[in-house]
Structures are given as structure tokens and as C-alpha cells.
Amino acid sequence: MFKIRIYDPAMCCATGVCGPSVDPELTRVATAIFLLEKKNIDIARYNLGSEPQAFIDERKIQNLLNTKGTDALPAVMVDGEVKLAGRYPTNEEFAEWANLPVETLTKTETKSKGIELL
């Protein structure tokens, strides 16, 4: 089973998808995480502002912050190894790490009667 951990910079809420101006990149990442969770992928996300202990508990993230500072965030670990620092993964990277087709993380257009479900 794959284990993906995302270490976010300090944000106002758990996903960063809040406030008057939402960053589309954060929306994409939140959607990808939601879809991966639906596929039972072991994925978790930690916010430096509200969950600093997760950053302290993970030695490799702590070392990354000590050497590069908060510019290293977001950082992503896959199966205990730092895979990315300073940016979020693409949907292709998420799919590769989870051993899923990238289409799993692509929202498809569906015709509905006014209700759209993920």
C-alpha cells in the first residue's frame, strides 16, 4: 500500500481552499486528494499552521525545513521518501505514486439534472 504525505505551509484552513480568492492549484490538489481517498489510497495532508507536531515528528521534513526553510513547502513524501519540495504534485505524479490511471484524478463532464457529484 502506498503512503503519501503532504506537508503544507501555514494556511488559513486545512485545504487552503477558503477566503475571497481561491488558488486554483489548491483546489486541484484538494480534489485529487479527495479522489485518491475514495480509492482507499493512504494519503494525509498536514498544515504547518495548525499541525506543527507532524512536521516535528517526521525527521526528513524537519531536516528539509532546517536546511531550506519554509520555501521547501509544500513538501511531499511517498513511502517515507521526500519526492517533492517547494511545489505540489501534478495529477500525473499523484497517479504514478498511487499506481492508478491519471484519468482517476480528472473530473469528467457529466450531464445531470442540475446536480453535480464528484
pLDDT band at 23 (very low <50, low <70, confident <90, very high): confident
pLDDT band at 20 (very low <50, low <70, confident <90, very high): low
Please answer whether residues 31 and 118 qualify as being in contact, where contact means their C-beta atoms are separated by less than 8 angstroms: yes
Q: Is 111's pLDDT higher than 60?
A: no
- In this prediction, residue 86 carries a pLDDT of 96
Q: Is 72's pLDDT higher than 80?
A: yes
Q: Is 38's pLDDT higher than 60?
A: yes
Nearest to 16 by CA among 49, 40, 41: 49
Other C-beta atoms closer than 10 Å to the C-beta of 51 total 17
Q: Share the mean pLDDT of the chain.
A: 87
Q: How far apart are the first and last CA of the chain?
A: 24
Q: Is 51's pLDDT higher than 70?
A: yes
Q: Is 19's pLDDT higher than 80?
A: no
The set of cell numbers assigned to 85 is 519540495
| Confidence (pTM) | 0.82
The set of cell numbers assigned to 45 is 495532508
- Rounded CA-CA distance 92/16 in Å is 21
- In this prediction, residue 117 carries a pLDDT of 60
Say what angle helices 91-98 and 24-38 make with each other, to 10 degrees.
Answer: 20
- In this prediction, residue 108 carries a pLDDT of 56
Please answer whether residues 41 and 98 qualify as being in contact, where contact means their C-beta atoms are separated by less than 8 angstroms: yes
